[in-house]
Structure 1
Amino acid sequence: MLHSTVPSHEKRRLLREGLASGRLLRVPGAMNPLTAVLIQELGFDGAYVSGAVIAADLALPDIGLTTLTEVAGRGAQIARVTDLPVLIDADTGFGEPMNVARTVQALEDAGIAGCHLEDQVNPKRCGHLDGKTVIETDEMVRRIRAAVTARRDEGFVICARTDAAGVEGLDSAIDRAKAYIEAGADMVFPEAMRGPADFEAFREAVDVPLLANMTEFGKSELLTVEQLESLGLNMVIYPVTTLRLAMGAVEEGLRVLRDEGVQTDLVDRMQTRERLYELLDYRAYNAFDGDVYDFTL
């Protein structure tokens, strides 16, 4: 009710234990807090907050237009409602190394368990689009060092994302990842891997946890949990899946409503009022204050 009762440091411990467990953590994107509640109920290992989803929710493209305040605010809303660790997309850290330091501390304050920072130029673009540009390795190393130095809770996971494979080639991306690990990154996120061979090359080259991005309509082959586990991946995110599912259903429903003038044919596709109230845990609020929940379904 109201807030998760699991403190932030405990969520960070759970994330680190999960990454060290040898199993694959399954982490869907939470497009809003209610989705995070459902992710927890259905037994996933964590919730992910996508920068692309935050931008899309604001009707903006994923080109670095969102701010730290907007991203940390959405992260805090999602972390508030779930006992699961939350990993958040911190883009390029919103500026220079000092901005990166502030970003990490703001995300710690928001109750987030970890973030990933990327080596694109600022402003960035979606990792599965052409035309990306990456910064020099030394500049990204400074970003990572700033993040590591700024964090106050050693449990907070700092993940280095590299977009270099699509720009400079796979070998360069691996070399960059090694430099980022040397700078203190706890985990590596190789973006836009094309298939199992790319992941296998990364797994052979580095010994820290690896994150796989299984986003739809991108450059990566969609691999199963079993395939990712066999490749030695430690976490898989599905960053935009819930938004795409929701917006597809919303668009279809609005077309029916426009064309038919009534939503009768849509009702059986909707989440029921009873199910919504179950997710919102209305009954717990009733137990707390009978004046709040004074009706029957």
Structure 2
Amino acid sequence: MPHPSLRQALKNDEFILAPGVFDMISAKVADGMGFRALYATGFGVTASHLGLADVGIATYTDMVSRMGTIAKGCKTPVISDADTGYGGLLNVRHTVRGYEDAGVTAIQLEDQEVPKKCGHTPGRKVIPAEEMALKIRVAAEARQSEDFLIIARTDARTGHGLDEAIRRGLMYADAGADVIFIESPESEAEMAEVGRHIKKPLFANMVEGGRTPIVPADKLHAMGYRIAIYPAVGFLTIAGALERAYGQLKADGHSNNMSVNADYSFAKMCELMGFPDVWEFDRKWAAAAGNLPPAKAAE
């Protein structure tokens, strides 16, 4: 079931800061740190699962399975990238029901043409606003719980300007979206302009090296933003750490000098993955298992 805490936080005018997670190691680490929500990033999940660019190659089946594994493996509510809804109106209904059944609390649907592209990359094209508004209406009707949030994203800013992006955001709000996501505003002034026009909770995408400036949470809140995601911070950090570690291993021929041994021990990883529970189970049942009669030899 979706967590009611996110809808309640929005109702209470609170701010939700969500780190990007992309596999179960990143999800488990973030889950224990007290965040209000986690953001299951389409870029990161596609990269970690398929090793491919986030350009619409990952299917609904690929994504709902991975997003469900993350959601069910965490106590923290999960906001999930659901791309374009993977097709037309019937696909959108199927997507909403599938992600909700998978344990996700909120999904992001975007108005790009298929195949979609990552939001901070060039070449994105959008469908007519009226078509997307209909998708949002279908999505809002398809959910089983009101605690399942619909986040409507428009990618119109880059190709069609801020005014068109705001117009679309207002349309999607009227269609029933709970949260509005204007992708890729290019300055703090543009972000503030979005907040002056759209009065529903706003969603900020903070991508290191992306098209939008990184703005602190208190300033975002003052502009009207209520959710900020940091989708890339996890996988950029991990990729950099791996590159350094593997490079040192290749250069030294051993791992004795690696700082990773001190930063995150094997024992700590075992604890994160739940090995203490397995060991306790083994201790509890070892005597009973040892007293089982031997198997009879085949006659």
TM-score (norm 1): 0.91
Unaligned runs of 5+ in 2: 287-299
Residue in structure 2 matched with residue 32 of structure 1 by the alignment: 23
- Choose the corresponding residue for 1:250, options 218, 223, 242: 242
- Partner of 1:265, secondary structure, is coil
- What RMSD, in angstroms, separates the aligned Cα atoms of the two structures? 1.8
How far, CA to CA, are the matches of 2:134 and 2:223 in structure 1? Answer: 30
**1:90 corresponds to 2:86:** no
Whether 2:57 is the aligned partner of 1:41: answer: no
For 2:60, give the aligned amino acid: L
- Residue number in structure 1 paired with 2:292: none
In the TM superposition, what is the alpha-carbon distance from 1:192 to its structure 2 partner? Answer: 0.6
| 1:20 matches 2:19 | no
After the TM superposition, which of the residue ranges 101-110 and 272-281 deviates more from structure 2? 272-281
What does the per-residue CA deviation read over 1:208-251, in whole Å, with 9 as the maximum and x for residues that have no partner?
A: 11110001111011111222122231010011211111111111
Deviation track 1:8-27 (CA, whole Å, cap 9, x = no partner) reads 24x1x111012222221010
Counterpart Cα distance in 1 of 2:235 and 2:202:
24
Structure 1 residue 37 displacement after superposition: 2.2
Does residue 1:74 correspond to 2:50, yes or no? no
Query: What TM-score, normalized to structure 2?
Result: 0.90
Number of equivalenced pairs: 285
Partner amino acid for 1:265? N
Q: Distance in 2 between matches of 1:291 and 1:253?
A: 39
Q: Deviations over 1:138-187 (max 9, x none)?
A: 11112112211221222210010011111111111111011111111111
Equivalent residues of 1:188, 1:211 under 8 A apart: yes
- State the secondary structure of the residue aligned to 2:257: helix
- Identical-pair percentage: 35
- The 5-angstrom pairing of residues 1-297 of structure 1 reads 8-9=1-2, 11=3, 13-57=4-48, 58-266=50-258, 267-268=260-261, 270-290=263-283
Contact 2:46–2:52, Cα closer than 8 Å, also in 1: yes
Distance of aligned partners of 1:245 and 1:112 in 2 relative to their CA distance in 1, 3 Å threshold: same
For structure 1, the 5+ residue unaligned runs are 1-7
Structure with bigger gyration radius: 2
Greater shift in the superposed pair: 283-292 or 66-75: 283-292
Aligned partners of 1:292 and 1:273: how far apart in 2?
A: 25
Counterparts of 1:182 and 1:292, CA distance in 2: 58
Distance 2:253 2:279 in 1: 37
